[in-house]
Amino acid sequence: MTTSTEHGAIARIWNWQITAFCALILFVVAIAAVSFGPISINFLKVFKTLFDLPGGSSGMNRTVILELRLPRVILGILVGAALATSGAVYQTVFHNPLADPYLLGAASGAGLGATIAITSTHHNLAGALPIFAFVGGVLAVLTSFFISGKFFADPNSLLLSGIAVGSFATAIQTYLQQRHSTALRPVYSWILGDLTNASWSVVAWSAIYIAIALVILFSVAKQLDGLMLSDEEAYSLGINPKRLRITAVAAATLATATAVSASGLIGFVGIVVPHLVRGLTHRVTNRSLITIAMAGAAFLVLADLGARTLLSPAELPIGVITAFVGAPFFLFVLRNRRKVLQ
Amino acid sequence: MSIVVSDLTVRYGEKVVLNDISLEISNAKWTCLVGPNGAGKTTFLKVLLGMAPYSGSIQDNGIEVFKSQNRNVAFVPQHPQIPPGMTVAEYVMLGRSKKDGWGNESLASRSYVHKVLTETNLFGMQDNLVAQLSGGEMQRALIARALAQEPDLILLDEPTSALDLHHQISVLNNIELLKEDGVTVISTMHDLTLAAMFAERLVVLKAGKILLAGDSDIVIHSSELKKAYDNRIDVYTLDSGRPVIVASKFSR
């Protein structure tokens, strides 16, 4: 940490060592995740195959690497980065260290959308599930905005309407689920989240939306400092707080809805990772967004590796792993809330 | 040049919070809004900031203030939002954001923040987290951030309400120094004695209307001031000539 001596930097704007460390971890974790599985492939061979160097794998191993594991790892990177960054942004915007990206009903809305897809089509439209989930998530958040009425005059009213919309969507979802008992299992497994649907086409469309959302969030990250103050203070410092809040929440919601529709509900990443990075960097959350994105990506890829290998050849839902690590951490955060709040 | 308020009315839904106010506020002077709770003082500050909608006109040196961010106005709220994880130095540096751009800090800004931290007796605490400051220290950090802004106009909502007497005087002295640099100061204050001591002009508000506006020593002895508080205040004059305002003993 630097101190504000006469010529020293004050704002601790960039801590490149930790960012570089996270990038390195992400790279190593990604290569490891491609190597390990029911068929283990040599680390070096994976590296050579991925970068198309001589001596790479061929035949079935090449297919496993490039068509099965690589899209899954990349989807994990996208989803992890999206959830962690959105969580950090929500925590800043709502002045709440325990806010997570599902707060405004994105998760329940997506859950309802997915349940509708599963129940009403009898699996014929399984391919459309991500679209249903995406639309459900976005609609739920828009409804929260609409109900809160003041359009962000007050973050708390938005939060409360998000909770109401979320409960309402969950109620309908449960009703549908009970009416179609055959849907129980697929809905349940979707709710726990997994990356098994990863294919290059899923990777492609999620990459587009998540990249757009992350670019927006990174570009407004520094101004988010202002949203940690009251609206009047932010305004006096040259920010339009309402517009910035709408931009940040809309981008975070786009990232979340995309992540949810590609991989189901993966909990805790949005809370655990921002706090973990803040513990390491000792910096205001929004000033570490890129680091948080990379840490989130590494965390999710690692969790997915655990989900694939712990009960191999069976798979655990990834949500089980993130919650297994996340829930105790969450309690730890609550216990040290005073410290974390500061 | 000055701030000219004409026919200003502010409504929250059906409720009229400020009612047909016209007033001229001189530059480089300290004007204090006084009056009982609910008189509309804080709302007046918010419309002067330019953030809240109003009918009528507020011209700040020729600029209509609503949504005009070309002015350099610092705002010190009564209840600040405390950013988690931010140090005092970072917090004060936020005041330079408009000059340097968000997330940047120029060398000039660093030395300016250094100067401001010293002026507000916060030097030595610059690496502490703002969330760990006491009420008095937080108030000084707020003032320091406002000073770092190098504003033309500073709006302060009850700048001394959380402070003990010693810190009240020290904060008010900090604010008074601003006038020497030509900064216009507009504040609200519950403590009428302090208001009369520091502000050159007092504006007495009650139920959204101005009862009286004028030089402090005239307003403080006026019947309108007593009327604003339902005649429940007494004004005494010390031997030094300074007025002291206290609540009247309530008689049944």
Closest CA to A294 of A18, A26, A16, A15: A26
Percent of chain B's residues with pLDDT above 70: 98
- For residues A110 and A88, what is the distance between their CA atoms, to the nearest angstrom? 20
B248 and B157 housed in the same domain: yes
Domain membership flag for residue A11: no
What length does chain A have?
A: 342
What length does chain B have?
A: 252
* Residue A112 confidence (pLDDT) above 60: yes
- For residues A91 and A299, what is the distance between their CA atoms, to the nearest angstrom? 19
Q: How many CA atoms lie within 13 A of B172 on its CB side?
A: 25
Give the model's confidence band at A4: pLDDT under 50 very low, under 70 low, under 90 confident, else very high.
Answer: very low
B63 and B135 housed in the same domain: no
List the single residue in A with minimal CA-CA distance to B47: A232
- For residues B224 and B210, what is the distance between their CA atoms, to the nearest angstrom? 10
Largest separation between any pair of C-alpha atoms in chain B: 64
Domain membership flag for residue A168: yes
Give the model's confidence band at A327: pLDDT under 50 very low, under 70 low, under 90 confident, else very high.
Answer: confident
Closest CA to B153 of B188, B190, B179, B115: B179
* Residue B199 confidence (pLDDT) above 90: yes
Mean pLDDT score, B190-216:
91
Q: What is the DSSP letter of A294?
A: H
- For residues B246 and B194, what is the distance between their CA atoms, to the nearest angstrom? 11
pLDDT in tens, B66-99: 888 778 999 999 988 888 888 899 999 999 998 8
Give the model's confidence band at A15: pLDDT under 50 very low, under 70 low, under 90 confident, else very high.
Answer: low
CB of B159 closer than 8 Å to CB of B143: yes
B175 and B238 housed in the same domain: yes
Q: Give me the phi and psi of A294, to 5 degrees please.
A: -70, -40
Instruction: Report residue B190 as tokens.
Output: 């519950």
* Residue A89 confidence (pLDDT) above 90: yes
Domain membership flag for residue A7: no
pLDDT at A182: 79
Give the model's confidence band at A2: pLDDT under 50 very low, under 70 low, under 90 confident, else very high.
Answer: very low
Which of A7, A237, A291 to mutate: most B Cβ within 10 Å? A237
Percent of chain A's residues with pLDDT above 90: 26
Mean pLDDT score, B171-194:
90
Q: What is the DSSP letter of A23?
A: H
B169 and B58 housed in the same domain: yes
Classify residue A304 as exposed, middle or buried by CB count within 10 Å of its CB (0-12, 13-18, 19+).
buried
Give the model's confidence band at A5: pLDDT under 50 very low, under 70 low, under 90 confident, else very high.
Answer: very low
pLDDT at B158: 92
Of the two residues A14 and A38, the one the predictor is more confident about is: A38
User: What is the CATH number for A321?
Assistant: 1.10.3470.10
* Residue A122 confidence (pLDDT) above 60: no
pLDDT in tens, B136-176: 889 999 999 999 999 999 999 999 887 888 888 888 988 88
Q: How many helices (H) and strands (E) does chain A have?
A: 16, 0
Domain membership flag for residue B143: yes
- For residues A25 and A33, what is the distance between their CA atoms, to the nearest angstrom? 12
Give the model's confidence band at A342: pLDDT under 50 very low, under 70 low, under 90 confident, else very high.
Answer: very low
B235 and B161 housed in the same domain: yes
List the single residue in A with minimal CA-CA distance to B152: A236
pLDDT in tens, A179-199: 888 777 888 877 777 787 778
Structure pTM?
A: 0.86
CB of A219 closer than 8 Å to CB of A92: no
Domain membership flag for residue B63: yes
Contact B75 A12 (CB under 8 A): no
Mean pLDDT score, A4-32:
74
- For chains A and B, count residue pairs whose Cβ atoms are closer than 8 Å: 112
Domain membership flag for residue B77: no
Q: How far is B30 from chain A (nearest CA, A)?
A: 19
pLDDT at A236: 93
Q: How far is B99 from chain A (nearest CA, A)?
A: 9
Domain membership flag for residue A10: no
Mean pLDDT score, B21-46:
92
User: What is the CATH number for B18?
Assistant: 3.40.50.300
Domain count, chain B: 2
Render B130-179 in DSSP notation, one character per residue.
GGG--HHHHHHHHHHHHHHT--SEEEEESTTTT--HHHHHHHHHHHHHHH
Q: Which helix (H) or strand (E) is B208 found in, with range?
A: none
Domain membership flag for residue A322: yes
For residue B10, give its domain range: 1-71+152-252
Q: How far is A155 from chain B (nearest CA, A)?
A: 13
Domain count, chain A: 1
Residues in B touching A231 (Cβ below 8 Å)? 51
Contact A233 B77 (CB under 8 A): yes
CB of A248 closer than 8 Å to CB of A254: no
CB of A213 closer than 8 Å to CB of A254: yes
Domain membership flag for residue B76: no
B61 and B156 housed in the same domain: yes
pLDDT in tens, A224-280: 988 889 889 999 999 998 889 889 988 998 899 889 888 888 888 898 898 888 877
- For residues B252 and B250, what is the distance between their CA atoms, to the nearest angstrom? 7
CB of A150 closer than 8 Å to CB of A231: no
For residue A290, give its domain range: 18-341
* Residue A12 confidence (pLDDT) above 60: no
**What is the torsional sign of CA A62, A68, A69, A73?**
positive
- For residues A240 and B49, what is the distance between their CA atoms, to the nearest angstrom? 13
| End-of-domain residue from the set B117, B134, B151 | B151
- For residues A117 and B136, what is the distance between their CA atoms, to the nearest angstrom? 58
Give the model's confidence band at A155: pLDDT under 50 very low, under 70 low, under 90 confident, else very high.
Answer: confident
